[in-house]
Amino acid sequence: MSTITIRNLDDGVKQVLRQRAAARGVSMEQEARDVLREATIPQAKPRTAGWRLKASRDEILALGRKPERPFDLKALTDQMWDEGLL
């Protein structure tokens, strides 16, 4: 891994990075890394596709809730195998 120092960064840019990082629940440094990766590596997954480093509070709480309706786990995993997802 490499290190980079950016001097004379506009205060407005820093504020936007801080706000974007807070909205995603990551550090400002991680947000800057993600922005640079997306801008320089075309095949990097965009955040608009749902890629995030951390789950939101609501997503974590949803993991503990009972499903709205029962589901057949065997049928679900069979379908995933058939579609090549497993």
pLDDT in tens, 21-72: 999 889 999 999 999 988 888 775 655 555 556 777 888 888 888 888 888 8
Assess if residue 70 is contained within a domain. Answer: yes
In this structure, are residues 53 and 26 in contact, taking their beta carbons and an 8 Å threshold?
A: yes
State the pTM of this model.
0.49
Assess if residue 47 is contained within a domain. Answer: yes
Distance between CA atoms of 55 and 49, rounded to whole angstroms? 14
Residues whose CB falls within 8 Å of the CB of residue 45, separated by 6 or more in sequence, listed in order: 51
Assess if residue 4 is contained within a domain. Answer: no
In this structure, are residues 25 and 14 in contact, taking their beta carbons and an 8 Å threshold?
A: no
State residue 17's pLDDT score: 93
Assess if residue 6 is contained within a domain. Answer: no
Where do runs of H (alpha helix) occur along 1-86?
11-24, 28-40, 57-62, 73-82
Token pair listed for 26: 């990551």
State residue 49's pLDDT score: 52
Which residue range(s) make up the domain with 66? 11-82
Assess if residue 5 is contained within a domain. Answer: no
Assess if residue 37 is contained within a domain. Answer: yes
